[in-house]
Amino acid sequence: MIRLSNVTWRYGSPTRRVAGGRSADPATALSGVTFSVPQGGFRWLLGPSGAGKSSLLRLLHLEALPQSGELEILGTHVGVDVKRATLARLRQRVGMVHQDFRLMPTLSISDNVALPLRLERRDEAAVADEVAAILRWVGLSERSGALPAELSGGEQQRAAIARAVIARPGVVLADEPTNALEESQSSRIVGMLREVSALGATVIVATHNDALVRRFPAPALRLERGRLTTDESSTP
Ligand SMILES: Nc1ncnc2c1ncn2[C@@H]1O[C@H](COP(=O)(O)OP(=O)(O)O)[C@@H](O)[C@H]1O
Ligand SMILES: [Mg+2]
């Protein structure tokens, strides 16, 4: 479950926590954003370049805190006074997939996918079982010992999805996950993200691939200059 109420977020303000090389000029990325997504819901996140999609996903991934308004993720209220330990624990329950995969280049596919479980200090026998199962699910059993650079883009993104979901997060976010991929791979990626939501995670996928959105009909959150233009209260 995700709930935002009147959330405003501005780059370059004192509570800024997002890393990035850009100037610190205050730029309002999100204003007055209100919506909620029930547990297990799937939402497209749409809007032109610069609309605030990535900023919203970074906020939901807890890389930043809202400067005003309310944010609740998986039953935890996230305000400026939230404890670091609470934030760290909550962050482990949010999976993230990026357009450029962001796999660790020197680790094998199976070691990349195992990372979230090793962070949780799970015992290695359990890690091996879980990694084998999830690699089967994403169709990469044969590539488990390969390095990311030895895989195609679609395969790398499937590995990134495996890594994002292996610890069974309650929320999975994807920021334009199919931008670098061909149509057939894009459909496969979205199909997997739909499956993740059917299994109970709340999933939000930013895209500007209209064909893909038509192929996988689902309610959409539409951003325009940092403001939500859809009335989410009317969608199931
Ligand atoms: N690191 C940053 N520093 C300052 N402004 C930024 C930064 N990242 C994004 N912005 C600004 O925030 C707004 C929203 O950007 P973004 O969330 O990346 O939109 P989208 O993902 O929809 O393209 C834009 O005006 C953009 O220029
Ligand atoms: Mg973006």
Taking the chain (236 residues) in consecutive chunks of 10 residues, what is each chunk's mean pLDDT? Answer: 94 57 64 96 96 96 91 93 91 96 98 96 96 98 98 97 97 96 94 97 96 96 93 47
Q: What residue has token string 């990134």?
A: 160
Residue 206 lies in a domain: yes
CA of 13 to the centre of ligand 1 (A): 14
Ligand with minimal distance to 56 CA: 1
Tokens of 212: 């893909």
Domains contained in the chain, number: 1
Ligand 1 closest atom vs CA 51? 22
DSSP H helical segments within the chain, as ranges? Answer: 53-60, 84-91, 109-119, 124-137, 153-165, 183-198, 210-215
Whether 196 is in a domain gets the answer: yes
**Is residue 55 in a domain?**
yes
Rounded Cα distance, 19 and 107, in Å: 24
**How many angstroms separate the alpha carbon of residue 141 from the centre of ligand 2?**
31
Task: Report the distance separating Cα 229 and Cα 219, nearest Å.
Answer: 13
State the CATH number of the domain containing residue 133: 3.40.50.300
The answer, yes or no, to whether any atom of ligand 1 lies below 6 A from the CB of 11, is: yes
First-residue to last-residue Cα distance in the chain? 13
Residue 14 lies in a domain: no
**Domain assignment present for 18:** no
